Structure 1
Amino acid sequence: MSAQGFSFSQAHLREIATDILKYAKKRGASACSTDVSEGFGQSVAVRKGEVDTIEYNRDKGVGVTVYLGQQRGYASTSDFSKAALKATVDAALSIARFTAPDPCAGLADAALMAKDCPDLDLCHPWNIGVDEAIALARRCEEAAFAVSPKITNSEGANTSIQQAHFVSANSHGFVGGYASTRHGLSCSVIAGEGDGMQREYWYDSRRDAADLMPAEDIGRIAGERALARLGAKKIRTCEVPVIFEAQLAVALIGNFVQAVSGGSLYRKSSFLLDSLGQQVFSPVVGISERPHLKKAFGSSPFDNEGVATRDREVVVDGVLQGYFLSAYSARKLGMQTTGNAGGSHNLRVSAGEDDLPALLRRMDRGLLVTELLGHGVNYVTGDYSRGAAGFWVEKGRIKHAVEEVTIAGNLRDMFRGIVAVGNDALPRGAKHCGSLLIDRMKVAGR
């Protein structure tokens, strides 16, 4: 794959998008938007030193949304021939004709379209052959086994390479697109034997493979984490402070985003209804949105509707400053889009001064959560209940591993009960948040 590139140029994708808009107008559409994309990738998995799988993917697609006034229709295809593209537009128009008018349907306002599309440095092809990808995965796994003889088995190490590009266009005259990459290394191993076995993993993912953690470090961390889980115990039911490790803390921020996103709000299926300007988090929490960070996974000069993205403060001193809205959800709420059709863009939770050891000392006694199981989040009420594993902490130090517990609370109380945000955020996703110390949660054990 390393010698291969895209089958279609950006100019060709733009030509396809432009032809679709012209044909839709010719066929009577009052407005139209389209997305044309292509991607390819390679994934290599190694288990116990042997090649387990080698996978290649190559995909392309076109999505077309048309409007007949306020009637909307959508159709898609993976065939880029002119006949197939015309048939897709016709299919979308046919659907629109049988769709009830929706007063909130339509393109985002023309004045909000992105005019400039700065280069955000999102595409870094990784010219690596299969043999080299296999060698990297092997080094990763070997480093995990080298941690201790107690690392007894492996679920595998993986090298992943992905590259894609797209063009979005609509009948307001907006046309924009760019190429991007996502590369990763991961390792998952098992420590111990019999009923005492424990599984752990570690991974890194970046736009630029040059920024990835060394394969040996990823494997070593996976091995050390698995080793630390040996001898895990059940604990008695209690109410104690809880720390969500950084890689899990981002999931809590994801819960927040879901609760203050337009779809949840206009459907009245959120525990944070009418929360704008209200104290949602404790005063130690600030959340910013930074769509134009170079090389970041959540970066984009425009959202899925072509609306220009911009920096903003979402939460200041715990107070909610803005929702996450598309044009449609904004109209449903009588507001204006925030440029978040398709989701948030690079959320950054302001960090405190404490690293994880300092947070443990501040907590003194409680539970450090390093794994979550299940999906027990009720966005209507905010009730939160998930299976968990991690470590019991006494006098600010880890005492032993913990397994088979459930942590429970309410997200409203959990957000307001955040005592501190760690400075240990991981740079591998679109949401950056350090470990979170929450003042009190119920931990259900034996």
Structure 2
Amino acid sequence: MTQLAHPQDQSLQELDRLAELAADVVHQARQAGASHAEVAASVDIGLSVNVRLGEVETVEHTRDRGFGLTVYFGQRKGSASTADLRPESIQATLEQACAIARYTEEDPAAGLADPDRMATSFPDLDLWHPWAVDTPEAIALGIEIEAAGLAQAGITNSDGAGVQMGQSLSVYANSHGFVGRERGTRHSLSVSLIAGGDEGMQRDYWYDTQRNASRFASASSLGEKAAERTLARLNARRLSTRQCPVMFAPEVARGLIGHLIGAISGGALYRRASFLLDHAGRQIMPSWMNIVERPRLPGAHGSSVYDAEGVATTDSSLVEGGILQRYVLGSYSARKLGLVSTANAGGVHNLIVQAGGVDGGASDFAGMLARMGTGLLVTELMGQGVSTITGDYSRGAAGFWVENGHIAYPVEEITIAANLRDMFANIVAVGSDVDPRSHVLTGSILLQNMTVAGE
């Protein structure tokens, strides 16, 4: 399962070829009259295998190429893309981008990121770990994971197991003379199981995702974890409508932080479509809460030396002492707001929600349940009932009812509702039980109160 590719792979040579092509096309764009130009090129290689009940369902090998060009004629912008890297296709893409730019309206915010913000050092962030798994090995691994789950008493069926291997090479170049190369790997294992029958069927899953396949959880533990989660949902009940504390398990808690990011992102702000408009420098969370961005963590899922515009990434506070320190901006949105880029073109990099609580200290999962005492533990969310404009939050949920700090029974077919502004302000604690499978690193999040709508 953990066999790695031979170190003498061809990825660096392919990166060099992409970089030379990107720099050459930027030069061609300048010769065609563009005042500035930028190119993003990528090659993605993958293997995806899915098995169900011990039989192969799908095997997919992928090798995708992408090449996107943006040109600026003053503040007129044109973009075009292709998946064909032959010279004639690149030339046609360049001509299309230039034609579009000549006929678009001027936009005062358009243009490359400022030249003095470009990354100038490129440390190795330990993101490249090719996994030399072939198709038969991937199939055998998927069957092993599924079998471990099906072997657990009470599991009656399977929705299948998946094994995915992925490698990505990318280059970004612009007419400031910047040429950045990145390569990364991401591999995953997953399984979904079914327990019960027609009278009370339940389904749940588990997965692992790693840059380095040698760090995967074992196949047996993955299947057993999925089975444990599935069996725990049997005989679920509904709740009567009530107000109560709500705790989001780590795998769903990061969604709350995602809603925060959406509300403080440049696109929502300059369109005046956010409930956190003009909130930089204001208290939005309890005074003990801190959220920091650490873009250069070795081996982490969201690590990068530069953002999608070549701007160098740096460690930065997002929330400090509960106060929103800044927004999440690329160059375009920053100019629209009269601010400067925060090196977040393309998204955030490794947000860490620091553990703690209103009464001090950090708690593991069991400790978080004890802090809540009696309330709702949410392990699954459904629906899209969240408004970035108003902050209104209403989503279908499932999980467990907790009494005296211990899980009492599973619950389903409920809705949880509040306003994000109040939810952020009324966070009681953040756990130390961090889910590491994402670029948003948070433990459980306990809220003081929400409306739970049921029977």
TM-score range, shorter chain: over 0.9
Aligned twin of 2:394: 385
8 Å Cα contact 1:6/1:39 also seen in 2: no
TM-score normalised according to structure 1 size: 0.98
Could you report, residue by residue, the CA deviation over 1:61-101 in whole angstroms, capped at 9, with x for unpaired residues? 10000000000000000111111111111100100111100
Query: 1:53-132 alignment to 2 at 5 Å?
Result: 53-132=58-137
8 Å Cα contact 1:284/1:420 also seen in 2: no
Q: Aligned partners of 2:247, 2:71: CA distance in 1, in Å? A: 48
Aligned twin of 2:28: 23
Matching of residue 212 in structure 1 with residue 216 in structure 2: yes
Could you report, residue by residue, the CA deviation over 1:307-352 in whole angstroms, capped at 9, with x for unpaired residues? 0000011111211111110000000000000000000000000013
Aligned twin of 1:32: 37
Aligned twin of 2:454: 445
8 Å Cα contact 1:73/1:93 also seen in 2: yes
Aligned counterpart in structure 1 of residue 315 of structure 2, from 311, 314, 334: 311
Letter of the 1:339 counterpart: A
Aligned counterpart in structure 1 of residue 430 of structure 2, from 421, 424, 431: 421
Matching of residue 181 in structure 1 with residue 181 in structure 2: no
Greater shift in the superposed pair: 393-402 or 405-414: 393-402
Greater shift in the superposed pair: 66-75 or 315-324: 315-324
8 Å Cα contact 1:276/1:323 also seen in 2: yes
Aligned counterpart in structure 2 of residue 222 of structure 1, from 213, 219, 226: 226
Aligned twin of 1:234: 238
Q: Aligned partners of 2:308, 2:170: CA distance in 1, in Å? A: 11
Q: Aligned partners of 1:221, 1:351: CA distance in 2, in Å? A: 25
Matching of residue 12 in structure 1 with residue 21 in structure 2: no
Aligned twin of 1:202: 206
Q: Aligned partners of 2:433, 2:335: CA distance in 1, in Å? A: 39
Could you report, residue by residue, the CA deviation over 1:411-435 in whole angstroms, capped at 9, with x for unpaired residues? 0100111100011111111110000
Aligned twin of 1:44: 49
Aligned counterpart in structure 1 of residue 348 of structure 2, from 329, 344, 347: 344
Deviation at 1:266, TM superposition (A): 0.5
8 Å Cα contact 1:187/1:219 also seen in 2: yes
Letter of the 1:342 counterpart: G
- CA separation of 1:434/1:7 partners in 2, compared to 1, >3 Å: closer, same or farther? closer
8 Å Cα contact 1:284/1:419 also seen in 2: no
Aligned counterpart in structure 2 of residue 277 of structure 1, from 275, 278, 281: 281
Letter of the 2:420 counterpart: L
- Secondary structure of the residue aligned to 2:116 is helix
Could you report, residue by residue, the CA deviation over 1:183-205 in whole angstroms, capped at 9, with x for unpaired residues? 01001001100030000000010
TM-score normalised according to structure 2 size: 0.96
Question: After TM superposition, which residue ranges in structure 1, 4 or more long, deviate above 3 angstroms?
Answer: 1-8
Letter of the 1:141 counterpart: E
Aligned twin of 1:248: 252
- Secondary structure of the residue aligned to 1:9 is helix
Q: Aligned partners of 1:164, 1:12: CA distance in 2, in Å? A: 14
Q: Aligned partners of 1:7, 1:77: CA distance in 2, in Å? A: 22
- Residue ranges of structure 1 left out of the alignment (5+ in a row): none
Letter of the 2:118 counterpart: M
Q: Aligned partners of 1:21, 1:145: CA distance in 2, in Å? A: 55
Q: Aligned partners of 1:131, 1:6: CA distance in 2, in Å? A: 24
8 Å Cα contact 1:2/1:129 also seen in 2: no
Deviation at 1:7, TM superposition (A): 11
- Secondary structure of the residue aligned to 1:143 is helix
Could you report, residue by residue, the CA deviation over 1:209-259 in whole angstroms, capped at 9, with x for unpaired residues? 011111111111100000000000011000000000000000110100010
Matching of residue 430 in structure 1 with residue 439 in structure 2: yes
- CA separation of 1:203/1:287 partners in 2, compared to 1, >3 Å: closer, same or farther? same
Deviation at 1:147, TM superposition (A): 2.1
Q: Aligned partners of 1:280, 1:316: CA distance in 2, in Å? A: 10
Query: 1:301-380 alignment to 2 at 5 Å?
Result: 301-352=305-356, 353-380=362-389
Q: Aligned partners of 2:321, 2:104: CA distance in 1, in Å? A: 45
Aligned counterpart in structure 2 of residue 158 of structure 1, from 141, 162, 166: 162
Letter of the 2:404 counterpart: K
Q: Aligned partners of 1:175, 1:68: CA distance in 2, in Å? A: 21
Deviation at 1:6, TM superposition (A): 5.6
- Secondary structure of the residue aligned to 1:343 is coil
8 Å Cα contact 1:284/1:418 also seen in 2: no
- Secondary structure of the residue aligned to 2:277 is coil
| Coordinate RMSD, CA, aligned | 1.4
8 Å Cα contact 1:10/1:167 also seen in 2: yes
Q: Aligned partners of 2:135, 2:150: CA distance in 1, in Å? A: 23
Q: Aligned partners of 1:116, 1:8: CA distance in 2, in Å? A: 20
Q: Aligned partners of 1:297, 1:30: CA distance in 2, in Å? A: 35
Matching of residue 400 in structure 1 with residue 374 in structure 2: no
Greater shift in the superposed pair: 167-176 or 277-286: 277-286
